[in-house]
């Protein structure tokens, strides 16, 4: 029965989130006078003037005051956090949840000393709060306003951060928090401590964050000093002993020995570490790996907190089928039926030509495409080339059309044999490339902003799978046909161009990547209020 109630609670809560309408957050909900003592689960009500006096006394911001007003108008001022026996169990659960958030997020902005002082002074010997009516009403209102403050931060993110200032153009998730709280209370807070309307990666990162806090408490995270530039299997030294210990602490090396030899078990641990950090997976301990091993725990904790903030912005329940390009990972992830189906390496924009972070809907595949050369490239590269060599355009299979330059279809075309379009104002798309060698690099920020694919044919086959008009042989023939051919997808597929430097992969392993565009650094300065190195 408990499981059924939990499922029902989640369904109602999900509906509250998915139906969230930002416009409704500015409208006053009319008072529902049909709710009374006879048809409610508690006989505890209070006068609306108490709420208005509280709003004025506490000087609540207009948005928060409206949330409190609407919440109680919708329940005719029936108490939410108390029943006939005192403070409810889910009130305790919420307080614990809030305290945990303050601790792991290092965010004391939602801490209300009045709330905790009132709780401390009113606790009865039985462990249940049995306050006087006046104090009970104040505690009721303090709990409600505290929930809205908590939920806004924990579920939606810091509203003082302008995502666009940080290069983030994916619309931030919006929740109707009044509906969220109402649904929780209607279900008497069943499993309130398990409910988080956030993307699954958020909680996975939170678990990893707690691990790093434990490592921080243990101390002794000293830099590992090398006696040589690199270490290979079979080597032995004091430094290798220190590296083994570090790999044990991070969970890559499962043994608990204190050996100082680079044995076969350690090789597997080294390769796993390299894979998690995007380092060349060669099983050799070099300067890149030592740099990551020596990164201060405080830096990693901040990196986790920054990425958890981003996870609060994205939809809690993304579409079942979608494509995700994670820029710092240099990878495209293909999700089908809500699960990772496969992934491929990509090349993204360079530090001088950042790939934009946004969301689109893929509508077209273009086989044997022309490349319409952007004017910026024409000015900086094409025109200087023409001045040096009059045959520049012909040598590069290009032509001038109405003052613009385009490259003809063919194997040497900069877009390769196929491109994938999800119309947007940034002129960003996915495409093939003749420069295949770049995919062998571990850091692949080389493009002018668009995303080059290591396996474009595989993506084309995936998108046209089951389409009788496009069998495999026709796809292959059209890709190499030399004639531009547009295909409209029967159903669009969402594309997310994201920026995550920390995430947990499908194997449950924590991954870190470099902050290639400096977005982490800028966000950390806003989140933590200080400059970072």
| Ranges of the chain whose pLDDT falls below 70 | 1-25, 123-131, 193, 530-533
Going across the sheet that includes 371-372, the strands are 371-372, 404-407, 398-401
At the fourth CATH level, which superfamily is domain 222-295?
A: PGBD-like superfamily/PGBD (1.10.101.10)
**3-state secondary structure (DSSP) of residue 153:** helix
Q: Which helix (H) or strand (E) holds 325?
A: strand 322-326
What integer pLDDT is reported at residue 59 of this predicted model?
96
User: Does CATH number 3.40.350.10 belong to domain 318-520?
Assistant: no
Average model confidence (pLDDT) across the chain: 91
3-state secondary structure 166-179: HCECCCCCCCCHHH
**3-state secondary structure (DSSP) of residue 281:** coil
Q: Which helix (H) or strand (E) holds 345?
A: strand 339-349
pTM of whole model > 0.95?
A: no
CA-to-CA distance for 248 and 287, rounded, in angstroms?
A: 19
Strand boundaries in 387-512, DSSP class E: 398-401, 404-407, 418-421, 430-431, 445-447, 451-453, 485-498, 502-504, 510-512
Question: Cβ distance 161 to 527 under 8 Å?
Answer: yes
pLDDT digits (tens, 9 = 90+) for 466-484: 999 999 999 999 999 999 9
Cα–Cα nearest to 41, from 97, 70, 82:
82
Domain boundaries, the chain: 2-197, 222-295, 318-520
What integer pLDDT is reported at residue 22 of this predicted model?
44
């Amino acid at each position: 029965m408990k499981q059924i109630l939990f499922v029902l609670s989640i369904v109602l809560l999900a509906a509250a989130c998915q139906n969230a309408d930002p416009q409704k957050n500015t409208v006053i909900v009319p008072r529902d006078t049909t709710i009374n003592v006879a048809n409610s689960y508690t006989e505890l009500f209070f006068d609306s003037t108490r709420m208005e006096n509280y709003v004025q006394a506490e000087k609540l911001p207009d948005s928060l005051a409206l949330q409190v007003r609407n919440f109680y108008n919708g329940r005719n001022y029936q108490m939410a956090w108390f029943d006939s026996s005192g403070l409810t169990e889910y009130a305790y659960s919420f307080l614990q949840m809030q305290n945990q958030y303050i601790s792991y997020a290092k965010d004391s902005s939602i801490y209300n000393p009045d709330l905790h002082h009132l709780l401390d002074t009113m606790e009865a010997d039985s462990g249940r709060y049995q306050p006087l009516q006046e104090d009970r009403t104040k505690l009721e209102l303090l709990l409600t306003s505290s929930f809205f403050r908590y939920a806004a931060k924990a579920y939606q993110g810091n509203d003082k951060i302008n995502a666009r200032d940080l290069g983030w153009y994916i619309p931030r998730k919006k929740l109707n928090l009044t509906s969220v709280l109402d649904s929780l209370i209607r279900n008497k807070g069943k499993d309130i401590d398990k409910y988080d309307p956030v993307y699954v990666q958020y909680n996975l990162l939170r678990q990893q964050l707690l691990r790093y806090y434990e490592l921080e408490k243990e101390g002794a995270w000293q830099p590992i000093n090398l006696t040589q530039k690199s270490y290979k299997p079979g080597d032995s030294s004091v430094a290798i002993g220190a590296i083994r210990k570090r790999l044990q602490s991070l969970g890559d090396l499962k043994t608990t020995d204190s050996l100082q030899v680079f044995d076969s078990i350690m090789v597997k641990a080294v390769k796993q570490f390299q894979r998690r950090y995007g380092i060349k997976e060669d099983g050799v301990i070099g300067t890149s790996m030592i740099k990551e091993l020596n990164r201060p725990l405080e830096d990693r904790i901040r990196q986790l907190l920054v990425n958890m903030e981003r996870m609060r912005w994205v939809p809690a329940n993304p579409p079942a089928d979608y494509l995700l390009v994670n820029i710092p990972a240099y990878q495209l992830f293909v999700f089908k039926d809500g699960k990772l189906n496969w992934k491929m390496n990509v090349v993204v924009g360079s530090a001088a030509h950042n790939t934009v972070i946004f969301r689109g809907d893929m509508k077209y595949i273009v086989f044997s495409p022309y490349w319409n050369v952007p004017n910026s490239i024409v000015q900086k590269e094409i025109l200087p080339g023409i001045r040096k060599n009059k045959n520049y355009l012909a040598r590069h299979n290009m032509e001038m059309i109405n003052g613009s330059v385009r490259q003809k279809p063919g194997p040497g075309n900069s877009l390769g044999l196929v491109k994938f379009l999800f119309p947007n104002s940034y002129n960003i798309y996915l495409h093939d490339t003749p420069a295949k060698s770049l995919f062998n690099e571990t850091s692949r920020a080389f493009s002018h902003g668009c995303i080059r694919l290591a396996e474009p044919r595989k993506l084309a086959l995936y998108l046209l799978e089951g389409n009788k008009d496009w069998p495999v042989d026709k796809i292959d023939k059209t890709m190499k046909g030399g004639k531009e051919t547009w295909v409209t997808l029967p159903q669009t597929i969402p594309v997310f161009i994201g920026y995550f430097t920390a995430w947990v992969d499908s194997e449950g392993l924590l991954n870190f990547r470099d902050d290639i565009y400096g977005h982490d650094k800028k966000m950390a300065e806003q989140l933590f209020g200080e400059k970072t190195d």
